[in-house]
Amino acid sequence: MNAAPVPARIRQVLDAPPGCRFSRPGATTPPTPGQSALTREQHLLTQGQLPPWKHLQAQRLATQPEPARPDRPDTAPVPRPRSAPDDGPPPARTPKRPVRPRPPLPRRHPDRPRSHRKPAPRPGLVLMVAAHILALGVGVLAAHLLFFL
């Protein structure tokens, strides 16, 4: 163990109770694209570097006349008339397009498990061992028969 002195900040963390050693700031939400664009532009303005498109856009805006925008439109919007009591029920809405049935799912291979379970053991190993024993027995009998001939 090294006996070197520990800095004051590290000693402060080590002396704190276990639940209070580190600060846990609340989770911050990521900035929206508009906020990040404004932050990026502010950074570029403070650093003194402007992207080339800013200069081009400023030239375009200087050459174009300001479009005339009236404060109020010439005609006021007319509200929809209320329905009278003898009008009857409103017409039924028609669907925008017919709903098509979804295509069927592809068929599974029989060896594939049906879910996330471990596949059941198959009798393949037992049959393979039985076939080898049978072949060995047939070979032994054939060797005895050929030896006596």
Residue scoring higher pLDDT (38 or 148): 38
Residue 2, domain member (yes or no): no
Q: How many domains does the chain have?
A: 1
Domain of residue 66 covers: 8-148
* Predicted pLDDT of residue 27: 55
* pLDDT tens column, 41-100: 888 788 877 778 888 888 888 898 877 766 766 777 788 888 787 777 877 887 788 888
What are the tokens at 87?
């009008």
Residue 1, domain member (yes or no): no
* Predicted pLDDT of residue 67: 72
Least confident of 22-26, 55-59, 102-106: 22-26
Residue at token pair 């027995």: 137
* Predicted pLDDT of residue 1: 55
Residue at token pair 């800095």: 7
**pLDDT at residue 6 is higher than 60:** yes
Residue 3, domain member (yes or no): no
> CB-hemisphere CA count at 13 Å for 79?
3
Residue scoring higher pLDDT (149 or 124): 124
